[in-house]
A and B are shown apart, each in its own frame.
Chain A
Amino acid sequence: MRPTFSIIFFTVMSGAGYGLWILMALASLLIWPERPPGNGMAEVAWPNLLPCGLAAGFLLVSCGLVSSLGHLGQPQRAWRALSQWRTSWLSREGIAAILTYLPVIGIGSAIFHDGRMPVDAMTGGDPLAALWMSSEMRTVASILLLAGSVATILCTANIYACLKPVRAWHNRHVVAGYLLIGIYSGALVAWALAALPQGQIVDLRVLPVLVAVFAFATALLKHRYWRFIDHDPASSTADATGLGSLGNVRSFEQPHTQENYLTHEMGFRLARKHSRKLRTICLIAGFALPALLALLGLAWPSLSAPAAWLALIGGMSGIFVERWLFFAEAKHTVMLYYGARNAD
């Protein structure tokens, strides 16, 4: 399948954004309630990891969504894509993406408001009463954010996983892969943000640990995925045409002498020629390097800031290569009619 830049950019960027939001929602759920009420303001002081993370996620997700419109032939009609959620994962994705903005805007504006509240507003009366969001509301909003982000990633993955003609997509590795890579890239961004000069996260160690763990898990999954797609059960022009009972079938003459939409879009071969090298690059830059840097950051906390940013750059480049391969290596059954062996 032809790797289209707008779709690769969209899935990587919005994946990272939703991964980041998942982590922020978890942080908001797990860390916030533990703060004693009086100290609440320390957590929401601006700038801080939570607002930074929500804002960065907002940027990533929005850039991704805008770029996905670039792929459409009639982008001005994009609103129609929200109508068929009963059957279409693409439609569900659009709805989930829009709904997930709501809790982000809620939590974000509450943090923004409360964090800038003058300290004297706290001294008189009940400080918590002055906050925009009660802790229960914040819990609800965080749960919604978590659910929305997970749901959107699952919808994105299922757009591909439900396509039977593309074996490299229609398998159980795909959904797990999108979710893991989303959270992993979110962790990379979160770690880099926490390493900013003003990043005041209480316990920085949890982020490099997350990066290392998810790098390992994702690399393992990708390895299994690649092994799966490399073991193609033989399918051939004979299967596609149903002429196999009469003899070996070979494409003798194509319908047209020129490339057409189908061969252009679904007959992309270059990636499979170089797939070994690209997979190695992806594994080393995307997963091994960030994992090592995370361990480095844990061992020598003073090195943690450069390590985090290097890990982000390496990791995201590796993920772009991974996503490029995800499209470019995939084979579509229609190419069997054009004489491909194993739909290449």
Chain B
Amino acid sequence: MTGLPPPAARKLGLVIDLDTCVGCHACAVACKEWNEGGAFGPLPDQDPYGAEPHGVWFNRVHTYEVQGFGPSSAGSACKLAASAPSQGAPTHPESRPSTGERPVIPDPANAMSVHFPRSCLHCETPACVTVCPTGASYKRAEDGIVLVDEDKCIGCQLCAWACPYGAREFSAKRGVMQKCTLCVDRIYNETLDEADRQPACVMACPTRARHFGDLGDPQSKVSELVAERGGYALMPELGYKPVNRYLPPRPRRAGGTKPETRPAAEPIDTAQMSPLLRWVDRVLSR
């Protein structure tokens, strides 16, 4: 059924920390490995080991250069990012200094690169589900995970058009749509150790930039993290109500951009030293 289930208390999703993500793509590779490779399965890509491999990735990591605003606006921007409510206020056009509204003073001191993993946000009201003519695309009532039933999908690709976030990719090899499953086959898998019942991307992240949990429960660790760090939703103005949250990069520590100061040189009496050390000192002082 492509009708959306009534809003459920449980909303499983991911919280992605843009502050600590180093853009290593480990999550994307682990995802590909778990979902496509299996233990001995072939990669269901086109031309997988050839010159032009082409296939589905549920998770893709972008890298952006953020130019950084000048001192006057940087303060307010950082405050805004830190105090934003979790419903995605930083993206709201009114609350954000945009290029159109006032002249932006770029300040290289505030420049940063931000690595940005992009995958399904398991939206609460996703049109990718309602547009599906076959019922292959559905949202689970019990935990809100959005899935594609690959045995029902006719590959019309309408749902990929309906997703603003580019979370769905058509597998030409299989003729059906595919997307992030939030590792539904791991998180409830009783044959795995309790600690391993997490999405593969979360397990793989070397900087712990990815967190998995119930965003519907305000007491959960992920919800607390979102509240504390001002986690936001992507493009909330579209009304899809994403469940996943992104934690904004933290403001730079003060003084991070001051010119480096070397420790002052201590006075040394070379006459006191052995000839070998005097020679070492002379060589190193050149």
* A interface residues (Cβ-Cβ under 8 A, vs B): 1, 71-75, 77-78, 80-84, 86-91, 94, 159, 162-166, 234, 236-256, 258, 260-262, 265-266, 332-334, 337-338
Chain B residues, Cβ within 8 Å of A262: 160, 166, 169
Chain A residues, Cβ within 8 Å of B60: 255-256, 260
Chain B residues, Cβ within 8 Å of A78: 154
**Nearest chain A CB to B133's CB is how many angstroms away?**
4
Q: Which of B89-97, B191-199, B259-267 contacts A (4 or more CB under 8 A)?
A: B89-97
Q: Give the secondary structure class of A's interface.
A: mixed
Q: How far is the CA of A163 from the CA of B131 in the complex (A)?
A: 9
* B243 at interface, CB cutoff 8 A: no
**Contact A87–B2 (Cβ < 8 Å):** yes
Q: How far is the CA of A163 from the CA of B161 in the complex (A)?
A: 7
**Nearest chain A CB to B172's CB is how many angstroms away?**
8
Apart from the given pairs A245-B95, A252-B63, A260-B169, 10 other A-B contacts in the complex at a CB distance below 8 Å: A72-B154, A72-B155, A164-B239, A241-B116, A246-B78, A247-B112, A255-B28, A258-B53, A266-B161, A337-B166
Q: Which of B64-72, B202-210, B220-228 contacts A (4 or more CB under 8 A)?
A: B64-72
Chain B residues, Cβ within 8 Å of A333: 164-165, 235, 238
For B96, give its contact among A164, A238, A258, A265 (CB under 8 Å): A238
In the complex with contacts A1-B161, A83-B133, A87-B130, A247-B62 CB distance below 8 A: no
In the complex with contacts A88-B2, A244-B96, A246-B69, A163-B162 CB distance below 8 A: yes
Give the residue name and chain of the A residue nearest to B175 (CB): A73
Q: How far is the CA of A141 from the CA of B166 in the complex (A)?
A: 45
Contact with A along B46-79 (1 / 0, CB 8 A): 0000001110110011111111110000000110
Q: How far is the CA of A77 from the CA of B134 in the complex (A)?
A: 9
**Contact B135–A83 (Cβ < 8 Å):** yes
Contact with A along B165-191 (1 / 0, CB 8 A): 110011110111100000000000000
In the complex with contacts A77-B154, A241-B64, A242-B232, A88-B77 CB distance below 8 A: no
In the complex with contacts A240-B234, A240-B235, A246-B106 CB distance below 8 A: no
**Contact A251–B174 (Cβ < 8 Å):** no
Chain A residues, Cβ within 8 Å of B234: 240-242
Give the residue name and chain of the B residue nearest to A76 (CB): B154
Question: 12 A–B contact pairs at CB < 8 A?
Answer: A87-B132, A88-B133, A159-B158, A162-B162, A164-B162, A240-B235, A241-B234, A247-B111, A248-B66, A252-B63, A255-B62, A255-B118
**Contact B238–A252 (Cβ < 8 Å):** no
Q: How far is the CA of A128 from the CA of B158 in the complex (A)?
A: 50
Q: How far is the CA of A163 from the CA of B163 in the complex (A)?
A: 9
**Nearest chain B CB to A157's CB is how many angstroms away?**
14
Chain A residues, Cβ within 8 Å of B233: 242
Chain A residues, Cβ within 8 Å of B133: 80-84, 88, 90-91, 94
Chain B residues, Cβ within 8 Å of A88: 2, 130-133, 158
For A251, give its contact among B56, B62, B104, B249 (CB under 8 Å): B62
**Contact A84–B2 (Cβ < 8 Å):** yes
List 7 tightest A-B contacts by C-beta distance, closest first. A73-B155, A73-B175, A334-B166, A255-B60, A91-B133, A242-B91, A165-B164
Q: How far is the CA of A245 from the CA of B83 in the complex (A)?
A: 12
**Contact B134–A246 (Cβ < 8 Å):** no
Q: How far is the CA of A94 from the CA of B154 in the complex (A)?
A: 13
**Contact B153–A74 (Cβ < 8 Å):** yes
For B238, give its contact among A75, A164, A242, A243 (CB under 8 Å): A164
Q: How far is the CA of A73 from the CA of B166 in the complex (A)?
A: 19
**Contact A73–B161 (Cβ < 8 Å):** no
Chain B residues, Cβ within 8 Å of A234: 98-100
Give the residue name and chain of the B residue nearest to A255 (CB): B60
Chain B residues, Cβ within 8 Å of A256: 57, 60
In the complex with contacts A72-B154, A73-B155, A247-B110 CB distance below 8 A: yes
**Nearest chain A CB to B243's CB is how many angstroms away?**
15
* B88 at interface, CB cutoff 8 A: yes
Chain A residues, Cβ within 8 Å of B158: 88, 90, 159
For A250, give its contact among B65, B80, B129 (CB under 8 Å): B65
**Contact A74–B175 (Cβ < 8 Å):** yes
**Contact A245–B99 (Cβ < 8 Å):** no
**Contact B112–A246 (Cβ < 8 Å):** yes
For B156, give its contact among A1, A72, A332 (CB under 8 Å): A72
Chain B residues, Cβ within 8 Å of A77: 134, 152-154
For B154, give its contact among A73, A237, A238 (CB under 8 Å): A73
Q: How far is the CA of A265 from the CA of B160 in the complex (A)?
A: 9
* B248 at interface, CB cutoff 8 A: yes
Contact with A along B127-143 (1 / 0, CB 8 A): 10111111110000000
Give the residue name and chain of the A residue nearest to B233 (CB): A242
* B113 at interface, CB cutoff 8 A: yes
Q: How far is the CA of A129 from the CA of B135 in the complex (A)?
A: 48
For A243, give its contact among B114, B152, B162, B169 (CB under 8 Å): B114
* B35 at interface, CB cutoff 8 A: no
**Contact A337–B62 (Cβ < 8 Å):** yes
Chain B residues, Cβ within 8 Å of A91: 133-134
Q: How far is the CA of A294 from the CA of B170 in the complex (A)?
A: 46
Chain B residues, Cβ within 8 Å of A260: 54, 57, 60, 169
For B90, give its contact among A84, A244, A247, A338 (CB under 8 Å): A244
**Contact A73–B174 (Cβ < 8 Å):** yes
In the complex with contacts A242-B232, A337-B118, A265-B64 CB distance below 8 A: no
Q: How far is the CA of A273 from the CA of B246 in the complex (A)?
A: 35
Give the residue name and chain of the B residue nearest to A234 (CB): B100
**Contact B110–A246 (Cβ < 8 Å):** yes
